Amino acid sequence: MKIVICSDAAQTRRLAAQVLAQQVKSKPTSVLGLATGRTMEAIYAQLAETAQQQALDFSRVTTFNLDEYIGLKADHPQSYRYYMQTHLFQRINIPAANTHVPDGAAADVEAEAQSYEGRISQAGGIDLQLLGLGENGHIGFNEPLSALNSRTHVVTLAQATLKQNAGMFNNDMEQVPARALTMGTGTILDAREALLVVTGAAKADIVARVIEGPVSALVPGSALQLHPHCLVLLDEAAASRLTQREAILWQMQHDPELRTFLSA
């Protein structure tokens, strides 16, 4: 893992948007894996702004989102499809047909999971996968104890996730859909590059377990330690429980790739 500790959440979001923009510039036919959640809102706002300022062309980009709630139609305001339309797709020149989010309203969700996995392969696999982190360590909706080599599948959401996401559902856990479709941890690990972005003190403990703990199904995000090209962007608050802070800062100053990235 290459880890960057940013001075604040604003720098974290600026750098995350920079990675995405750079990917699209260097490969205009990129296949991007996208994420949702509060952390991503500011990143997409920044990316949309950069896209406008620099006339970034998304017309040949393809996207695959990590996950979707089962039972919510695309026009439901809490669906991840709706989120993506609002926060990103409407603000950039990406053709609708190039954007993929699992269909949570599919009659046969198991078949939808398989077909989603097939569509990712047909597109040539994911070049860059953007990821947030759940407070329980989930990536996508791969909850604790899920198989580290799983493919796109149907999950029953953990109680902690229902609590964490209740804010989007009138603070009522009962209103959060109980199940979701998610890329598997194995699907995520197949992406050629991964970008994990985490901000805020509430995630400091889980960040330390993801980065410094053992690779364990108990903490699905820890599987990213096995990824050969994973960049982690943290703000000071999210990094505050790491024991290897000095080593990380040293890498930031001496690793040529990180130095180039940070001086851009």
Give min distance, CB of 78 to ligand GLP, in A: 11
Query: Between 125 and 154, how does the x/- string for binding to ligand GLP read (CB under 6 A)?
Result: -------xxx-----xx-------------
Of 12, 23, 30, 39, the residue at the interface with ligand GLP (CB under 6 A) is 39
190 given a catalytic annotation: no
Query: Between 149 and 178, how does the x/- string for binding to ligand GLP read (CB under 6 A)?
Result: ------------x---x-------------
Give min distance, CB of 98 to ligand GLP, in A: 21
229 given a catalytic annotation: no
Based on the shown chain and the rule CB under 6 A, indicate whether residue 19 belongs to the binding site for ligand GLP. no
Q: How far apart are CA 180 and CA 140, in angstroms?
A: 10
Q: How far apart are CA 135 and CA 206, in angstroms?
A: 6
- Is the CB of 41 or the CB of 255 nearer to ligand GLP? 41
Give min distance, CB of 140 to ligand GLP, in A: 5
136 given a catalytic annotation: yes
Based on the shown chain and the rule CB under 6 A, indicate whether residue 222 belongs to the binding site for ligand GLP. no
Give min distance, CB of 35 to ligand GLP, in A: 5
Stretch near ligand GLP under the rule CB under 6 A, chosen from 16-24, 31-39, 97-105, 239-247: 31-39
Of the candidates 155, 129, 148, 188, the residue with the CA atom closest to the CA atom of residue 68: 155
143 given a catalytic annotation: yes
Stretch near ligand GLP under the rule CB under 6 A, chosen from 15-23, 37-45, 54-62, 171-179: 37-45
3-state helix/strand/coil string of the chain: CEEEEECCHHHHHHHHHHHHHHHHHHCCCCEEEECCCHHHHHHHHHHHHHHHHCCCCCCCCEEEECEEECCCCCCCCCCHHHHHHHHCHHHCCCCHHHEECCCCCCCCHHHHHHHHHHHHHHCCCCCEEEECCCCCCCECCECCCCCCCCCCEEEECCHHHHHHHHHHCCCCHHHCCCEEEECCHHHHHCCCEEEEEECCHHHHHHHHHHHHCCCECCEHHHHHHHCCCEEEEEECCCCCCCCCHHHHHHHHHHCHHHHHHHHC
Give min distance, CB of 135 to ligand GLP, in A: 7
Catalytic residue selected from 117, 143, 190, 235 = 143
Q: Contact positions toward ligand GLP, by CB under 6 A?
A: 35-39, 66-67, 132-134, 140-141, 161, 165
State the catalytic residues. Answer: 67, 136, 138, 143
